[in-house]
Amino acid sequence: MSNPLAKKSWSPYAVGAGIGVLSWFAFWTAGHPLGISTAFEHTAALILNAAVPGLEESNSYYQQQSPKIGWGWMVVVGVFVGSTISSLTSGDRESITVPPRWESRFGSSALFRLTIALLSSGLMMFGARLAQGCTSGHGISGSLQLAASSWLFSLTFFLVAVLTAFLVYGRATRDV
């Protein structure tokens, strides 16, 4: 029998069903919806608190929220570990800095790609925290609970991302 981990890809429907079952597991064992971005918020809050003296008293965030390193944080570590294992066992490693489709639109400058990656990922995470969830917390976990907030978030971000992608990458880029 061949090792499924050695395959480079699985059917998207099988992967989706797997994530669905995994979300039952997360709800049942930990009482948590599967999510990623809360851990980033808590990490940033703890770093800021350690770096800026007196922030805990001056910023109301620390009275209303209790940042922690726990289940959600370990999920993020696990995603990195799991993806590393998966890509090593199948040989699907892509140690690239400038993705081909980006290169065909904006050229091969690594500095430019990394600068924009830093800014766009920052904007994305800022948005995720405004809405209290990302593609996992709202898009999957919230939508599957039929949460009104999650469906509104998912439809909004998808529509805006489509408009942005056509404006930024457009039809001119080649299929890569």
Tell me if 83 contacts another protein by CB under 8 A.
yes
For 53, which DSSP code? T
Q: Determine the straight-line distance between the first and last CA of the chain, rounded to whole angstroms.
A: 33
Structure token digits, residue 11: 């059917």
Q: How far apart are CA 173 and CA 176, in angstroms?
A: 9
Residues 116-175 that bind another protein (CB under 8 A): 116-166, 168-169, 171, 174-175
Binds another protein by CB under 8 A, chosen from 20, 56, 107, 108: 20
Give the distance from CA 81 to its chain's centroid.
Answer: 15
Q: What's the closest the beta carbon of residue 2 comes to another protein, in angstroms?
A: 14
Decide whether 96 or 107 has the Cβ nearer to another protein: 96
Shortest distance (Å) from residue 21 CB to another protein: 6
Measured from the CB atom, the residue of 1 and 33 that comes closer to another protein is 33
Both structure tokens of 74: 């370990």
| Residue 109 binds to another protein (criterion: CB under 8 A) | no
Under 8 Å between Cβ of 176 and 104 = yes
